[in-house]
Structure 1
Amino acid sequence: MRPFQYMRPEGLDHAGQLLRDGARPIAGGTNLLDLMKLEVEAPDRLVDINRLPLGGIAPTDDGGVRIGALVTNSACAADLQIRRDYPVLARAILAGATFQLRNMATTGGNLCQRTRCYYFTNIDQPCNKRQPGSGCGAIGGHNRIHAILGASDACIATYPGDMAVALAALHADVEIERPDGTSRTVPVRTFHRLPGDTPDLDNVLEAGEVITAVILPPPAGGTQLYRKVRDRSSYAFALVSVAAVVRMDGDTIGSAALAFGGLAHKPWHDPRVEQLLAGQRPSDALFHQAADLLLEDAEGQGENDFKIPLTRRTLLASLREATGGAA
């Protein structure tokens, strides 16, 4: 690890100024410190934001919930209102990492975690995300965990998190403080970027901006589930994951919100799948149509070709469970 300057800002304005000048924020450090030890990240200055007033889980005026950026994953998953009204979020968080990491990892930091691509974390290998223009070693290389949707010729890495997948299914928003003291809100579904020609840009945060909270809308009701398929039963990143929030109207699907992990550079959401399912009677034939739509542009890279049929099977199993079974 290279030497760095450690700073504690006096408030949000001060933090924004430091970050705008090129420093990096640190809270739990569960991802950043690992990358610094590998010299994938080598910031000159770290800004400790743990003393900023960014904690707490509280109801919003419209019946939703505001989760502060510094709320730990453990605290979020254990919160009674989250467990009762947003169980898909609690289940997604508990499916990720170890309890020691969840005790340190924060809501804002979790959203900003970087890929676990083999080539990104090895500074001796080419990686456009780490060093733009150097190439993508995963294309034609070892790519078993890599993307089958939304990839580009510059990058086929995947976003590794679980929490954000559930937040995408819940239509959550990210609250962001600008360095000038104003704020903006971005849907989780558009917070992360696809790689395109700039895979080094993971999300829409601009210089000096700080995530202050995640906002959940009022509970949607229905059945909520999180299904994660991985190489080991615990402590492994998703090969494929599905967050589903499905509301039935009698024997038809009233609404379905779906998000997918392990498939792309960001939590994947395809509104066409939800539109196809809404108002229909659940059946395996319908679910296969949904999978056909989801995967129509899927492209394997050799070692990860298995993800395409695995995604189909995982989606079918999730929809069967969420709708109470299908013939």
Structure 2
Amino acid sequence: MREFGYRRAVDVPGAVALLGADPEARFLGGGTNLVDLMKSGVERPALLVDVRELPLDRIEVTQDGGLRIGATVTNSDLAAHPEVRRRYPALAQAVLAGASGQLRNMATVGGNLLQRTRCGYFTDLAAPCNKRAPGSGCSAVEGEHHNHAILGASAHCVAVHPSDMGVALAAFDAVVSYETADGPGELALDAFYLPVGDTPHRETALPPGALITAVTLPPAPVAALSRYRKVRERASYAFAIGSIAAALDVRDGAVHEVRLAFGAVASRPWRARTAERALTGGPVSADAFAAAADAELAAAEALPHNGYKVTLMRNLVVAVLTELAEEAAR
């Protein structure tokens, strides 16, 4: 591991200034991803700016009935917060599914959004990887890719985003707030993550040197009846091979509103808007749920060893929406 400096920030402007003064500096939250990447040599920062002591660790109900979640809120505190559990249960479920208690106690909301892919080629310095070394190639296309992307990928990168939390945030139209030397800014989560295209190393639209300060969830009554379901290859904590965040509002036997987001199928949390449009106003039935899933997955481009994800995600849509519909009917 490269030797590095360490500074503890005491306020947001100070943190931004410290990072801006050194192009090789990185913000340090819980370190559950960054430190691993430093050990493997993928990340080699000259300076770590510790932001854990910044006053960004609160969860507050907004005036319009949404939630504002500070960037240094730990995953454990997020999952346990009574307003998160009441207003956005799928978010609490996603966080609990994401890691062990020890990791949740350290990991932060801001860091979760910025975690890097767990593609084995990304962390193997001997392997070509366009995300780690632009222009070197994508080893996964012809190599091991059973857990790689089926949606929104390109010939330059087929890695998936590992966040569970991000999938639920995508379903509920989260907005990311940040601070730069030029002042504050906001990005809807849809715009926060960049398409892969031919620049997979550019993962977010955050300006250079930006510090995430909060994530805001707008009011979403539909989210009160929501669920997160994760499929993984072992019962203990593991990254998803497919996941879904879903919320459903049924009125007079028809779908009044629905939210769907997929995980582990793309380089970013995948908002299933085609499926949502297909379902809204239509019947509440397994056939309708399956048809909507098929409409969304029609754009899938599977590789030789990950085509199972198309069937997996179709089944997840039908199963989770059926459970929510049954719950709504009680």
Same fold by TM-score, threshold 0.5 exceeded? Answer: yes
Q: Specify the alignment match of 2:17 in structure 1.
A: 17
What pairs up with 1:175-254 in 2 under 5 angstroms?
Answer: 175-180=177-182, 182-221=183-222, 222-254=224-256
Q: Specify the alignment match of 2:279 in structure 1.
A: 277
Instruction: Give the TM-score, by structure 2 length.
Output: 0.95
Shift of 1:189: 2.3
CA deviation map 1:78-112 (0-9, x unaligned): 01111111101000000011110000000000000
Q: Specify the alignment match of 2:322 in structure 1.
A: 320
Shift of 1:53: 1.4
Query: Aligned pair 1:287/2:321, yes or no?
Result: no
User: Aligned to 2:221, what secondary structure does the other structure show?
Assistant: coil
Residue 205 of structure 1 aligns with an amino acid whose one-letter code is: L
Structure 2 unmatched runs, 5+ = none
User: Aligned to 2:38, what secondary structure does the other structure show?
Assistant: helix
Which piece of structure 1 moves more, 188-197 or 74-83? 188-197
User: Aligned to 1:248, what secondary structure does the other structure show?
Assistant: strand
Residue 98 of structure 1 aligns with an amino acid whose one-letter code is: S
User: Aligned to 2:290, what secondary structure does the other structure show?
Assistant: helix
Q: Specify the alignment match of 1:307 in structure 2.
A: 309
What pairs up with 1:46-125 in 2 under 5 angstroms?
Answer: 46-125=48-127
User: Aligned to 2:213, what secondary structure does the other structure show?
Assistant: strand
**Count of paired positions:** 325
CA deviation map 1:107-166 (0-9, x unaligned): 000000000001001111110000001100001100011000000111000000100100
User: Aligned to 2:54, what secondary structure does the other structure show?
Assistant: coil
CA distance in 2, matches of 1:288, 1:76: 32
Preserved contact between residue 192 and residue 204 of structure 2 (Cα < 8 Å): yes
CA distance in 2, matches of 1:47, 1:260: 33
Shift of 1:290: 0.7
Residue 188 of structure 1 aligns with an amino acid whose one-letter code is: L
CA deviation map 1:202-257 (0-9, x unaligned): 11112121100011112424520001111012311111100001111121110001
Q: Specify the alignment match of 2:4 in structure 1.
A: 4
CA distance in 2, matches of 1:250, 1:90: 29
CA deviation map 1:47-81 (0-9, x unaligned): 11112111111111111111100000000100111
Which piece of structure 1 moves more, 43-52 or 132-141? 43-52
The match for 2:166 among 145, 164, 167 is: 164
* Cα 1:219/1:325, change in 2 over 3 Å: closer
User: Aligned to 1:88, what secondary structure does the other structure show?
Assistant: helix
Preserved contact between residue 176 and residue 211 of structure 1 (Cα < 8 Å): yes
Preserved contact between residue 6 and residue 47 of structure 1 (Cα < 8 Å): yes
CA distance in 2, matches of 1:10, 1:230: 39
CA distance in 2, matches of 1:237, 1:192: 19
Q: Specify the alignment match of 2:39 in structure 1.
A: 37
Residue 144 of structure 1 aligns with an amino acid whose one-letter code is: H
CA deviation map 1:280-301 (0-9, x unaligned): 1112221221112111111111
Preserved contact between residue 262 and residue 272 of structure 2 (Cα < 8 Å): no
Shift of 1:275: 1.2
User: Aligned to 2:311, what secondary structure does the other structure show?
Assistant: helix
Query: Percent same amino acid among aligned pairs?
Result: 50
CA distance in 2, matches of 1:279, 1:219: 18
Shift of 1:304: 1.1
Residue 7 of structure 1 aligns with an amino acid whose one-letter code is: R
Q: Specify the alignment match of 2:147 in structure 1.
A: 145
Structure 1 unmatched runs, 5+ = none
Which piece of structure 1 moves more, 62-71 or 15-24? 15-24
CA RMSD of aligned residues (A): 1.4
Preserved contact between residue 15 and residue 208 of structure 1 (Cα < 8 Å): no
User: Aligned to 1:197, what secondary structure does the other structure show?
Assistant: coil
Shift of 1:325: 8.2
Preserved contact between residue 89 and residue 225 of structure 2 (Cα < 8 Å): no
- Structure with greater proportional helix content: 2
